[in-house]
Amino acid sequence: MSQISAKVIEDSISLDGARLTTLELVYHRYVHSEFMTHRMFSRNASSSRAIPTHKLIEQVRNNPMMPVHWGANQSGMQAREELSGFSKESAIQNWKNAAIFAADSAEAMLSNGLHKQIANRVLEPFLPIHVIVTATEWDNFFSLRIHPNAQPEINELATKMKAAMDNSTPKLLKTAYDWHLPYVTSEERKSAHDIKTLAKISAARCARVSYLTHDGGNPSIEKDLALYERLVGSKPIHASPVEHQAYPLSNKDEWCRNFRGWKQFRSLID
């Protein structure tokens, strides 16, 4: 079973056809640097510094992230041919052994009193990363990453992202009172809360991906608003979670920051 997943959590389109999509992703942390090169994306990601080391150690020991293609050594950046037979089995076992060694090393560091922001780093090659990404511009990403020259892990990720978007029907948002609000429920949208309060709630829930509580449990609006104030209401400002909320502009070709055809919540705060 694949360890990579992509799920659309909010999909919106304006009257003149500008589409804004938010996806929830899980993929190999070791290709996150490649994902970060795409600057048209707004994103938040789980942090190695935020999650207790013992939880990550358990994950690395029981279910380490594994390469999706065991490429044979050759010159160049791409491994076209895959290992087979004993060579492949040996490579897989060596990878698992390395994961166990990393887990043992992190556990030893933890027992020596080392902070998790250091101990957790040796686990990263074997960890997934959870990412929330929102964008209007996807074509260049798909062209580059759904390609034989792409790293196999990010190729599979991009393929699943495109499939998720192709299978999603965006909701039509007609006015500036209709907002794209990831993780805000339909019941909450019908409540007495004004639209900017709902945008703050959405931002707080997007921020929680850092420690993997963004989509679970019963959300508390009071806690969400308190978190929002900690993020944006004081300095230094942590503004990336307010890049996922937006309302449609009257012109689909008008830009607001990295969104085309949508007014981004962060621009109102800035």
Tell me, what's the pLDDT at 234? 79
182 and 117 in a single domain? The answer is: no
Instruction: pLDDT band for 2, please (50, 70, 90 cuts).
Output: confident
Is 38 within the bounds of a domain? no
Count of structural domains, the chain: 2
Is 142 within the bounds of a domain? no
pLDDT reading at 103 higher than 80: yes
Structural domain containing residue 206: 176-269
Question: Given 103, 125, 147, which residue is the final one in a domain?
Answer: 125
Say which residue, 80 or 197, is predicted with more confidence.
Answer: 197
Is 239 within the bounds of a domain? yes
Half-sphere exposure (Cβ direction) of 184: Cα atoms closer than 13 Å = 28
Is 121 within the bounds of a domain? yes
102 and 185 in a single domain? The answer is: no
Is 36 within the bounds of a domain? no
Give the C-alpha distances (Å, rounded to integers) separating 100 from 12, 47, 65, 105, 117: 43, 21, 12, 9, 19
Mean per-residue pLDDT, 60-75: 96
Question: Given 84, 105, 125, which residue is the final one in a domain?
Answer: 125
pLDDT reading at 215 higher than 60: no
Is 30 within the bounds of a domain? no
Tell me, what's the pLDDT at 219? 64
Is 245 within the bounds of a domain? yes
Give the C-alpha distances (Å, rounded to integers) separating 257 from 34, 249, 264: 22, 13, 7
* pLDDT, tens digit (0-9, with 9 covering 90-100), for 173-188: 998 889 999 999 999 9
Tell me, what's the pLDDT at 217? 53
